[in-house]
Amino acid sequence: MNPIAQLIMWVFLFFGGLIGLLFLALFARYFKLWLRAFMTRARIGPLTLVFMSLRKVNPNIIVDAKIMAVQAGLTDVTNQNLEAHYLAGGNVLRVVRSLIVAHRARLGLNWDTAAAIDLAGRDVLDAVQTSVSPKVIDCPDPRRGRRTLDGVAKDGIQLKARARVTVRTNLAQLIGGATEETVIARVGEGIVSAIGSSETHKEVLANPTVIARAVLDKGLDSQTAFEIVSIDIADVDVGENVGARLQADQAEADMRVARAKAEERRARAVAYEQEMKALTEENRAQVVLAEAEVPKAMAEAFLSGNLRATQPA
């Protein structure tokens, strides 16, 4: 055999043996993991595990997720889906758990939607659990400092209300839908508006469900990530008489305006009186000046010979 051909053959054998030893070492490392996948019919071959390691994918997470999916009867979860989601920075195990819960509850959640929700930063498992078991939200949120929602009925009486809103996740609108804070704000606005539309505060105290029914009819869960199941008025208290206070404040303001106008009229009268006094003094001065001109005129007449004495008859 040609020496060059022998050299090439030995080089190929060397590199082939080296690659074989490398794969054998990697296979030995993941043998137990492959055995788990084989026994659970997860359909992940040994070479697939080796290639996962080369692609910097954690084979343990992928195998655990695939085993859970297979055992739960999920057919749309493939190895490529799991690896792609892992490389995209998603939480593979949480997505698979959420799909299992949704599959058991027959919510119709598929892999693409669940993965998109997870990559959007939402807790997809919590969303599915909330969709299965609705949660209760306090309105207003006591963590933000407010304890009650304050509204004023048409008779001027203030009412302080607290509500508990039962919601469940709307998976179809979870991506891009408004959050829990928006639901709380809308419900609070609806309750205040419903109280303000009541003729008297007694109507609300006698039948608090009027408020809840009025709020539910407005469809406040539109374009949100939640669906409002019910709104329950937990407590309604009577506050201050805002109408009476406003009337008292208005009366006080009217009295101050009247006082200001009276003071204005008094000041105007005083000023007019002073003007008249000044005018009188001015007229008196003119009279004195006119009287001073009389002797002067008589003297001029005497000097000019126009002044004659009259003889008695």
Q: Is the pLDDT of residue 11 over 90?
A: no
Domain boundaries, the chain: 3-132, 135-244
Gap between the Cα atoms of 89 and 110, Å rounded? 19
Share of the chain above pLDDT 90, in %: 15
Asked if 89 and 115 count as a contact pair (C-beta separation under 8 A), the reply is no
End-to-end CA distance of the chain: 190
Domain 135-244 has CATH 3.30.479.30: yes
The residues near 167 (Cβ < 8 Å, ≥ 6 apart) are 130, 134, 135, 137, 180, 183, 221, 226, 227, 228, 229
* Torsions phi, psi for 61 (to 5 deg): -65, -45
Polymer length of the chain: 313
Gap between the Cα atoms of 126 and 201, Å rounded? 40
Residues in a beta bridge with 238: 159
Q: Is the pLDDT of residue 311 over 60?
A: no
Question: Residue 67's closest CA among 91, 42, 47, 45?
Answer: 42
HSE at residue 119, side-chain half, CA atoms within 13 A, is 12
Tokens for 309, please give them: 């004495």
User: What type of residue is 172?
Assistant: A
Strand 135-139 versus strand 149-152 pairing type: unpaired
Per-residue pLDDT tens over the stretch 139-175: 888 887 778 888 888 888 888 888 889 998 888 888 8
Q: Is the pLDDT of residue 312 over 60?
A: no
Q: How confident is the model at residue 95 (pLDDT cuts 50, 70, 90)?
A: very high
Gap between the Cα atoms of 299 and 310, Å rounded? 17
Look-up: residue for tokens 């709380």?
Answer: 184
Mean pLDDT of the chain: 84
Q: Is the pLDDT of residue 89 over 60?
A: yes
Would you call 199 helix, strand, or coil by DSSP? coil
* Torsions phi, psi for 221 (to 5 deg): -90, 10
Gap between the Cα atoms of 291 and 298, Å rounded? 12
**Residue range 255-277: average pLDDT?**
91
Return the pLDDT at 139: 87
Gap between the Cα atoms of 188 and 142, Å rounded? 13
Return the pLDDT at 82: 93
Which of 18-22, 96-100, 127-131 is predicted least confidently?
A: 18-22
